[in-house]
Amino acid sequence: MGHREDLLEGAKRCLYEKGYARTTARDVVAVSNTNLGSIGYHYGSIRALMNAAMLSAIEDWGDAVGAALAAEPRDEPGDPLVRYWRRVIGTLDAHRDLWLASVEAMIQSERSPDLRAQLAEGMEQGRRGLAALLTGREEDGLDEQTVRTLGAVSMALMSGVMTQWLTDPSRAPSAEQIAAGVRALSTVAAAEQPR
């Protein structure tokens, strides 16, 4: 690897260990065995490097979550919605740092238009990826309605559930409770329809 890649990997390591806001240029240099000048040369600034690290970490997170969700054997017994949510919750143990990084990125994007734009593009890819995964179709074969409904709502539910698990795991909903809640929502919505 060259300095650029070493810096990115070092920044990601710092991101997981110290967080976005608390990482300094010196921290990154120490773990990447590079020098301060290489940050400016390759990335322009420590914030630009940290933004790149955040986006790379979120891509890693998306790949890990996608792989975990796609790994279900089709002939596994039981409720498929409960199995899906078990796999989502299971990603927290293996990828807690990535989940935390995604939450921190959202907060930091409020003061970084570049990071916000990059996160917005990542969210669009996430909505499309979840819709493809859940429908079993290729991403480029999805219509916008499916991405805007199934993909967007799936991402919103996943983000909300994982925020609860990160913050208050002892009272966060189980996979069974989430599945029951999703079904209850559809029942409430159906009851509201005019007859």
Residue 112 belongs to domain with CATH number: 1.10.357.10
Residue 24 three-state SS: coil
Whether residue 119 lies inside any domain: the answer is yes
Whether residue 94 lies inside any domain: the answer is yes
Q: What is the DSSP letter of 111?
A: G
pLDDT at residue 78, rounded to an integer: 85
Q: What is the DSSP string of 128-193?
A: HHHHHHHHT--GGG--HHHIIIIIHHHHHHHHHHHHHHHH-TTTSPPHHHHHHHHHHHHHHHHHHS
Question: Which position has the higher pLDDT, 147 or 17?
Answer: 147
Tell me the pLDDT tens digit for each residue of 66-90.
787 777 666 678 888 898 899 889 8
Whether residue 145 lies inside any domain: the answer is yes
CA 71 to chain centre: 17
Q: Is the pLDDT of residue 195 over 80?
A: no
pLDDT at residue 166, rounded to an integer: 92
Q: How confident is the model at residue 189 (pLDDT cuts 50, 70, 90)?
A: low
Whether residue 60 lies inside any domain: the answer is yes
Structural domain containing residue 97: 54-192
Whether residue 178 lies inside any domain: the answer is yes
- Alpha-carbon gap, residue 15 to 23, rounded angstroms: 7
CA 180 to chain centre: 24
pLDDT at residue 105, rounded to an integer: 80
- The residue among 106, 30, 76 whose CA lies nearest residue 84 is 76
Count of structural domains, the chain: 1
pLDDT at residue 22, rounded to an integer: 87
Tell me the pLDDT tens digit for each residue of 136-187.
899 999 999 999 999 999 999 999 999 999 999 999 999 999 999 999 988 8
Q: Is the pLDDT of residue 40 over 80?
A: yes
Whether residue 93 lies inside any domain: the answer is yes
Whether residue 158 lies inside any domain: the answer is yes
Question: Residues 15, 111, 130, 49: is their CA dihedral positive or negative?
Answer: negative
Whether residue 143 lies inside any domain: the answer is yes
